Amino acid sequence: MFRYACVTLLLLLAAGVRQSSGTEVKVEEDKKLCLYANLMLNFSVTYEVAGKKNATVTFTLPETGTTNGSRCGNDSSLLKIDFGKGHSWALNFTRDNQTYKVDYIWFTYDLKDDTIFKNSSSNDTKTVTVGGRMRAVDLNNIYTCKSHETLDSGLVQQVFWNVSLQAFISNGTLSKNATICHDDQPTPTPPSTTTITPKPTTTPKPTPLPQPTTGTYKLKPNDTSNSTACLLVTVGLQLHYTDGKEFVSENIDPNITTSGGNCGINGSDAVLVLKCDHVTISFTFVENKQKFFLHAVNVSVVNGNHTFHSGNANMSLWEAAVGSSYMCNKQQTVNVSDSLAFVTYDLRAQPFEVKNNSFATADDCAADKDDNLIVPIAVGVSLAVLVLIVLAAYFIGRRRNQARGYESF
């Protein structure tokens, strides 16, 4: 029976963005520790304000919170933190005979809370649910991950780092054995046997990035390997952003990029999340009146303990009919915000009604349509010139024949 839970929260305010320096949660049953969490967590939420515009706010857990509703079970445990004016965050753990994992994470926020969501045009309470990406952990092991992990569900981003978790704790004592996340594991470097003579250092001149490699990204319902794709995107992607005073450009490498998100099968939104090394990008597509379009883009770039984030949830790009795909082979530059832009190459997207794992007939972008008109225009001009030449030759020949007739008379 659940009898005791405590929450300790430490806060840090830096660079104008509130970031948690640690949130520790201990859940006890019968005066024994049964569930433990210590992590850093930031929320970033985009919401609508007056004038049908969007605002984005970043915040962390407050100094006080309650864990009413947390529980420890034999096969399932729940960690739930209620905070602020109607907000809560929860982790659901499940186990089998040998391992345990985070099954899902949910975050509930109340837009009536004007201390966070200033000038919100809605008073609704929203809930987002995402699947846990934590690898299965051996029972009696603690899970640790210092690296940043971003969970993106369209209008909400959750950024975690310095995470320690243990569920189904036996004997009320934290384990000394740790399961370390993949991103924290060192990459072995072969020893160097070549002696390099140092050369005088020079400041390299900036060189333009090459065109990025085109990658293919697909989602399947419930992420099952046997099902057909429900969302398809092929694109070469390049990011340009200003982080403080530094301007950064980088290509997204599809060879080290993973895709996630949801297909919006039971709703009108579909989300594609691309994660590449330290970069996470989410694209939210909306279906409306038999048309679909790109509605929101969010980008997070993690460099050490610093996170760059920018996005826009009031876009209307890449429009095409539902049941078809959108295609633009030409280079496209999309200005997301004052500090962020991205460039696409060989883009093709179909977020709804994908059949047989392949794209449907494409609606071309304006730039491709202009190229498609060049050939018929060129052919038309050539034919017109040919007709003029034939007519000119006809009239010249006729004049000569008339002149010869007058002379013979």
Per-residue pLDDT, averaged over 65-78, amounts to 88
**pLDDT, greater one: 66 or 123:** 123
What's the pLDDT at 267? 60
3-state secondary structure of 62: coil
Q: Give pLDDT tens digits for 95-153.
A: 988 899 998 888 999 999 999 999 999 999 998 888 777 778 999 999 999 888 888 87
What's the pLDDT at 408? 42
What's the pLDDT at 10? 30
The band of 383, judged by pLDDT with boundaries at 50, 70 and 90, is confident
Dihedral through CA 378, CA 380, CA 383, CA 385, nearest 10?
-70
Rounded-to-integer distance, Cα 63 and Cα 38, Å: 14
Q: Give pLDDT tens digits for 219-257.
A: 887 655 667 889 999 999 999 998 877 888 999 999 999
The pTM (predicted TM-score) of the whole model is 0.50
What's the pLDDT at 265? 58
Rounded-to-integer distance, Cα 27 and Cα 33, Å: 6
What's the pLDDT at 387? 73
* Per-residue buried b or exposed e for 93-104, using 16+ beta carbons within 10 Å of the residue's own CB: bbbeeeebbbbe
- 62 Cβ neighbours under 8 A, 6+ residues apart: 9, 11, 83, 84
Q: What is the mean pLDDT of the chain?
A: 81
Host H or E run for residue 342: strand 340-350
Kindly tell me if the per-residue pLDDT of 351 is higher than 90.
Answer: yes
What's the pLDDT at 12? 30
The band of 23, judged by pLDDT with boundaries at 50, 70 and 90, is confident
Per-residue pLDDT, averaged over 4-20, amounts to 34
Residues present in the chain in total:
409
Neighbours of 325 (CB within 10 A): 25
Contact at 8 Å (CB) between 298 and 157? yes
The band of 5, judged by pLDDT with boundaries at 50, 70 and 90, is very low
What's the pLDDT at 201? 47
Largest CA distance in the chain: 131
What's the pLDDT at 157? 87
Q: In this prediction, what percent of the chain has a pLDDT beyond 70?
A: 80
Which two structure tokens, joined as six digits, stand for 223? 């992420």
What's the pLDDT at 17? 33
**pLDDT, greater one: 65 or 252:** 252
What is the residue type of 397?
G
- 276 Cβ neighbours under 8 A, 6+ residues apart: 252, 253, 256, 257, 258
Contact at 8 Å (CB) between 131 and 114? no
Kindly tell me if the per-residue pLDDT of 300 is higher than 60.
Answer: yes
Q: C-alpha distances in angstroms, 215 versus 84, 231, 257, 348, 362? A: 42, 14, 9, 11, 18
Alpha-helix residue ranges (DSSP H) falling in 237-294: none
Per-residue pLDDT, averaged over 262-275, amounts to 79
Rounded-to-integer distance, Cα 30 and Cα 3, Å: 7
Phi, psi (5° rounding) for residue 395?
-70, -35
Q: Give pLDDT tens digits for 152-208.
A: 877 888 888 889 999 999 889 999 999 998 888 876 655 555 555 555 544 444 457
